[in-house]
């Protein structure tokens, strides 16, 4: 997405290759990706099975032979998380949350077997709630994820050097750690609440001054926190061949929409300060 939106760093050969790619109907087209993911959901009957589990029923009673197959169940399950991510990157937060409606976020969830998947799920669900202005729920999900990352990093530090190299996947998780803190500053500034002391301590050390400025209604701090914490949005458009890069347009569009939505709320922390 970023590559096709930035014409400034391409060679003549790359431009020629891109012209050829665009002859294909599927090049840069998001719909085949969505179709594959939705097909896996249908084939595995994952939503029907997860709904049955939530309601205390037997998943096998609502699934056919494909759905009962462990491989199809897992394909369907992880396709839900792939769809969640895709809808968020396209800016469709309502659809993103609907996608994982029946997926229980608890210790028994299948996603717990893949650490990066757990972090991805919490990050994108939390971000969707934030964009839907449900700041308390978003903050709760971000904190659960931050505490999980904290535990995995502590475990990693206790490992021998050889084991630590094998655990390098946690480096990817570590990158999300910073994003979560940026987003948490937004949620807590708009809807203050008591949070876990270890997270509160880190938040104060890293972003204490920023949060003071946010409490005073500094819109630029909200903008910075959003841009540093948000995902890399996609734009399902054709390739840009000349002119300046438009790679940041989806980010700017989502950021501006978010800031417009919170303008009236930014004054609330200031009012609370006067009322104390």
pLDDT, tens digit only, all 276 positions of the chain:
444 445 555 566 765 666 565 665 555 577 888 899 999 999 999 999 999 998 989 989 999 988 899 999 999 999 999 999 999 999 999 999 999 999 988 767 788 888 889 999 999 999 999 999 999 999 999 999 999 999 887 776 766 565 555 555 556 787 899 999 999 999 999 999 999 999 999 999 999 999 999 998 999 999 999 999 999 998 766 554 454 555 688 899 999 999 999 988 886 655 656 665
Model pLDDT, residue 80: 96
Cβ burial, residue 145 (10 Å; 0-12/13-18/19+): buried
> Which residue, chain included where needed, has tokens 């969505």?
34
Q: Cβ distance 102 to 51 under 8 Å? A: yes
DSSP labels for 25-72?
A: TTTT-SHHHHHHHHHHHHHHTHHHHHHHHHTT--GGGT--HHHHSHHH
Distances from the Cα of 93 to the Cαs of 131, 133, 134, 141, in angstroms? Answer: 7, 11, 12, 16
> Which residue, chain included where needed, has tokens 């719909």?
31
Model pLDDT, residue 166: 56
User: Other CB atoms closer than 10 Å to residue 16's CB: what's the count?
Assistant: 11
Q: Please give the Cα distance from 210 to 215 (Å, whole number).
A: 9
How far is it between the farthest Cα atoms of the chain? 65
From 144, 126, 235, select the one nearest 187 (Cα to Cα): 126
Distances from the Cα of 149 to the Cαs of 197, 198, 199, 210, 227, in angstroms? Answer: 15, 12, 11, 23, 22
Model pLDDT, residue 268: 66
Q: Cβ distance 189 to 208 under 8 Å? A: no
Model pLDDT, residue 249: 87
Q: Please give the Cα distance from 179 to 227 (Å, whole number).
A: 9
Model pLDDT, residue 111: 84
Model pLDDT, residue 212: 94
Model pLDDT, residue 114: 86
Please list, in sequence order, all residues whose beta carbon lies within 8 angstroms of the beta carbon of residue 110, skipping any fewer than 6 positions away: 74, 77, 78
Q: Please give the Cα distance from 90 to 30 (Å, whole number).
A: 10
Q: Please give the Cα distance from 52 to 48 (Å, whole number).
A: 6
């Amino acid at each position: 997405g970023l590559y096709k939106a930035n014409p400034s760093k391409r060679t003549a050969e790359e431009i020629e290759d891109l012209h050829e790619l665009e002859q294909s109907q599927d090049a840069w087209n998001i719909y085949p990706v969505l179709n594959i993911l939705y097909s896996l959901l249908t084939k595995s009957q994952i939503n029907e099975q997860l709904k049955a589990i939530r309601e205390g029923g037997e998943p096998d009673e609502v699934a056919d032979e494909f759905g009962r197959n462990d491989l199809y169940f897992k394909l369907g399950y992880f396709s839900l998380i792939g769809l969640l991510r895709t809808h968020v990157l396209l800016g469709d937060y309502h659809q993103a949350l609907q996608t994982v409606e029946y997926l229980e976020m608890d210790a028994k969830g299948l996603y717990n077997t893949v650490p990066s998947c757990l972090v991805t799920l919490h990050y994108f669900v939390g971000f969707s709630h934030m964009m839907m202005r449900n700041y308390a729920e978003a903050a709760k999900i971000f904190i659960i994820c931050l505490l999980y990352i904290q535990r995995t990093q502590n475990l990693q530090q206790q490992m021998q050097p050889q084991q630590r190299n094998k655990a390098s996947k946690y480096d990817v998780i570590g990158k999300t750690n910073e994003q979560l803190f940026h987003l948490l500053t937004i949620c807590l500034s708009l809807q203050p609440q008591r949070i876990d002391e270890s997270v509160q301590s880190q938040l104060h050390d890293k972003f204490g001054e920023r949060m003071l400025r946010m409490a005073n209604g500094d819109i630029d701090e909200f903008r910075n926190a959003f841009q540093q914490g948000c995902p890399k949005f996609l734009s399902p458009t054709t390739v840009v061949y000349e002119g300046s890069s438009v790679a940041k347009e989806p980010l700017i569009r989502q950021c501006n929409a978010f800031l417009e939505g919170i303008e009236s709320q930014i004054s609330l922390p200031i009012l609370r300060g006067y009322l104390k």
